[in-house]
Chain A
C-alpha cells in the first residue's frame, strides 16, 4: 500500500506516565498498530510530556517502567513522535530533558521527539483519519 493511501492514525498522550496504567497500556497499542499498514504518529501533550523525560527510575514504584521501550520506538517504525512545546515550557522542561527514541539509520545520530507548537499539532490532527487518546 502506498504512503498516500495509508490511513493516518494519531495517538495523543496527555496523562502522566505513572499513577495509572493508561500510558503504559497505550504504548502497547502503539507497538501493535505500528505493525499494521497505517501511518502512525504520536503526540505528547499536557502531563503526557513527562512520559518522554529521560532518566526515569520506576524501581521504587514496583513497576517495570517503559522508558526502554520508548527508547526503541524508531525500531518499531514509529518515527513521527511529537511533543507540545507549550506543555514542556509550562513544566520547566527543555529539549535536553527528552529521551532518545532511536537512532538515524545512516548517521547513527540519536533521534529525539520533535518539539512542535500547538498550531502544528492542530494542523496534523486535522489530517488524521482517526485519533486515539491515552
Chain B
C-alpha cells in the first residue's frame, strides 16, 4: 500500500513524532511504500538541527534525516515553518521546505493518509 504520513506535533513534547517514526519503520519493513512525510503545525520543529538533546536520549531530527536519506520525501510546510522561525538554514539534511500543494498531492496519490497528533 502507498502511504502518506502527516505529523502535527513538536518533538519530545508529544508522542506523535515517535509514533509516526515507528509506524513508518514498521510499514517499510512490511514492504509498504511511503509516498511522503509532511510536517505541519508544531510538527515543523521536528527537523531542526538546532535541537541538542541529552546523549542518552533519541535525536529526533537526526532520526528523520536518516529516514530521508533512504529516499523518502520529507516535506516541511512553508507556511507553518515561517510562523515558527523554521527556515532552510536550520533544517537537517534530506528534508525540504515546500507548500501545502505537496500535502495535497500526497493526499491524492497515497492510498491512505495517516495523521499523527491531537
- C-alpha gap A132/B108 in the complex (Å): 12
Chain B residues 13 to 66 lying within 8 A of chain A, measured CB to CB, are 40-41
Establish whether residues B104 and A32, one from each chain, have CB atoms under 8 Å apart when the complex forms.
yes
A38 to B6, CA, bound (A): 19
Known contacts A9-B108, A132-B113, A132-B115, A32 near B101 by CB under 8 Å: yes
Contacting pair B100 A22 (CB below 8 A): no
A130, CB-defined interface residue at 8 Å: yes
Q: A131-B113, A132-B115, A133-B115 are in contact. Are A7 and B100 (CB under 8 A)?
A: no
Chain A residues with CB below 8 A from B80, complex form: 25
Bound complex: CA of A20 vs CA of B4, how far in Å?
A: 24
A21-B41, A132-B6 given; A29·B115 CB < 8 A: no
A33 vs B38: C-alpha distance when bound (angstroms):
14
Interface members, chain B 75-118 (any A CB < 8 Å):
79-80, 99-101, 103-105, 107-108, 110, 112-113, 115, 118
The CA-CA distance from A129 to B106 in the complex, in Å, is 11
Interface size in chain B (residues, C-beta < 8 A): 20
Q: Are B100 and A29 in contact (CB under 8 A)?
A: yes
What is the total number of residues of chain A having a CB less than 8 Å from a CB of chain B?
Answer: 19
Interface residues in A13-59 (C-beta closer than 8 Å to B): 15, 20-22, 25, 28-29, 32-33, 36-38
Query: From DSSP, what is the main secondary structure of chain A's interface residues?
Result: mixed
Is there contact, CB below 8 Å, between B40 and A25?
yes
Per-residue 0/1 for A116-134: is the Cβ within 8 Å of any B Cβ (1 yes, 0 no)?
Answer: 0000000000000111110
B40–A33 CB distance below 8 A: no
Considering the complex, give the chain A residue whose CB is closest to the CB of B79.
A28
Chain B residues with CB under 8 Å of A132's CB are 6, 107, 113, 115
Contact A7 B108 (CB under 8 A): yes
Q: Which residues of B contact A33 (CB under 8 A)?
A: 100, 103-104, 107
CB of A16 to closest CB in B, whole Å: 12
Q: How far is the CB of B37 from chain A (nearest CB, A)?
A: 15
Chain B min CB distance to A97 (Å): 26
Residues of B within 8 A of A (CB): 4, 6, 8, 40-41, 79-80, 99-101, 103-105, 107-108, 110, 112-113, 115, 118
A-B pairs with beta carbons under 8 Å apart, 7 shown: A9-B107, A28-B100, A32-B104, A33-B100, A33-B104, A38-B108, A132-B115
For the complex of A and B, 5 pairs with smallest distance between CB atoms: A32-B100, A130-B113, A33-B104, A36-B104, A130-B107
